Amino acid sequence: MPSIRPPRPRIIAALSTVALVGGTLVAGAASAHPAHDPATYDRPAHNQTAQNPAPGHALHDGRNPGQKQWVAEGRGGAVSSVDADATKIGIDVLRRGGNATDAAVATAAALGVTEPYSLGLGGGGFFVHYDAARDTVETIDGRETAPQAMPHDAFIDPDTGQPYEFFPDMVTSGAAVGVPGTPATWEAALESWGSRSLGDLLEPAADLAERGFDVDRTFHEMTVENQERFAAIPPTAELFLPGGQAPPVGSTFRNPDLADTYRLIADEGMDAFYEGALADEIADTVQNPPVTDGTDLPVPPGEMTSDDIADYEVRTPEPTRHDYRGYEVVGMAPPSSGGHTAGETLNILEQFDLAAMPAPAALHHYLEASALAYADRAAYSGDPEFVDVPTGELLSDEFAAERACRIDPDTAAEKPVPSGDADGDYDPACDGSTGPSADRPDTEGPSTTHLSVTDRWGNVVSYTLTIEQTGGSGITVPGRGFLLNNELTDFSHVYDDTDPNRIEGGKRPRSSMTPTIVFAEGKPWLAVGSPGGSTIITTVTQTLLNRIDLGMDLPDAVAAPRAYQHNTATVTAEPAFADAYGDQLAQRGHELGETSSIGVVAAIELLPDGRAQAVAEPERHGGGSAAVVHPTRR
């Protein structure tokens, strides 16, 4: 597995590539481009019913990308993200002749301004790129990395001998901060596939940070939810709590420190981040978190050094690949568990004719398959440089067939279900061995972001990036304008030498990020991803099921109500999902608990006539923003 973060001017090493073999449609499979009816896009939102559609979500033509709109169709390239300002910046790059990678980096940098609680220079992520000229998919693993000296008991309270309370105590700490990978990801992507300089692509975001953006209700509420811990960190309070309060809705939020940091990197390159004074400041902030006198939060220090930062390298693993009903689904390899867990879920479901089932029956199979795949995720998935992850076996049709035997079509299994034995020896008679049931709870934060981009040349980017919890660690690097991640809380908190996600120095924690590109007949068809912690995997999976199996077009597939099952006794569902299917699923033994919202999808579908359909969320997270370069209507 290559590993790179070359200092300028060293040329980046060749990335791992996988030439795509066109997916051949199988008998009875869904068509390569499912039926698409553009007649109307007045779609039910995630908390609405079809009889009571959400107002104001008709199809937009993409002519005003600075205004939030959730569906756009046209040519010349497309961008889908959670934010209108960021989407507009990405579209402007495409309009001026930049390619998908250029637009993705510019969009991500802008999101670092307007969505600072979800991503930024202090975080990491996973970048999946399709190169149309070479017909290859390549990936960048920009996951945050543990300091070499990180102890096994980093999250154990010395006063109690037990793990710190997860929120706010554990996440608000220097011990939770991993070495950031986002800046190195941008550099690696641009050196491999970009056509514009990093400085050119950071300047629109720097300008946005300088002039400011309008605070919406989502930003205000996220600030209020974190106000207590932000107030405990003086540089964070100074930036995000002006006057000691959350910025009010409608006010203008400016971040001149971030503008200066972007321009520093633009002028001096990534060595300014990983090897200069800024690296020393990051290490010092982690080792000596600035804390307000009198706070009740423990804010334990971390072990990160300047050497840890200087040694950071992105990796370039081969993508995961598997067939689903004639489509080729391409995703991210470990330490992301997204590619193989979503892939295993789909492979299990391919054993059943979901399209012929009533919706409650199909959803029962989806929930049960998810539980099985999450059991295997807990048993096997981790950083492949530290543990042997049997990705090929987890994505094999034979393993999926054996796991599918565990699904009772009428009754939910008792949870947690045991993991499978991914050893290559599978029993088609449904009598395969199983492993133990792992009780390893997921604590990944929901505040990540995803963006999807296409360009006029047919290149595609699916990019998920994060600082983990909403507001990350809550620790702002003084005078630099960005929050540091709390990504290391994605490790298992109690050390167990049999756990593939155990804490180890220099290791990358397991992730659920699932940036995905789907191919039909050998050509890119759909780019999709979402934030949401461990719900990312099921959100992407459910979106694909809605689109491929359940006959929905992409706007409906994104807007449809969601539920997730990650091998726990309770299925977590949005209210509209519980209202529509709760009784029928309860009859099959599922226990549903409600949450207001799951995931924030950003997707682009490439239509048979050559146009792109960009789709964002209609309402979740305040609604997303989709735009195209040259809008069209049928």
Residue 156 three-state SS: strand
Q: Which residues contact 292 (CB under 8 A, 6 or more apart)?
A: 231, 232, 233, 234, 237
Tell the residue number behind the tokens 């040329």, with chain if given. 11
CA dihedral 74, 79, 84, 86 (to 10 degrees): -140
Q: Which helix (H) or strand (E) holds 625?
A: strand 625-631
Sign of CA dihedral 256, 261, 265, 270: negative
Structure tokens at 491: 């490790």
168 preceded by a cis bond (ω within 30 of 0): yes
Q: Residue 437 annotated as binding?
A: no
Cα(99)–Cα(93) distance, integer angstroms: 8
State the pairing for strand pair 612-615/71-81: antiparallel
Residue 448 falls in the annotated catalytic set? yes
| 480 assigned ligand-binding residue | no
Tell me if 510 is assigned to a ligand binding site.
no
Query: 326 among the known binding-site residues?
Result: no
- List CB contacts of 429: < 8 A, sequence separation 6 or more: none
The string of DSSP codes covering 541-574 is HHHHHHHHTS---HHHHHHS--EE-SSSSEEEE-
User: Is there a contact between 175 and 155 (Cβ–Cβ < 8 Å)?
Assistant: yes
> Of these residues, 101, 448, 466, 543, which one is catalytic?
448
Distance between the two ends of the chain, CA-based, in angstroms? Answer: 46
- 31 marked as binding residue: no
Residue 126, strand partner residues: 141, 464
Distance of CA 209 to the CA centre of its chain: 23
Q: Which residues are catalytic?
A: 448
Residues annotated in a binding site for L-glutamate: 143, 490, 511-512, 533
Residue set of the binding site: 143, 490, 511-512, 533
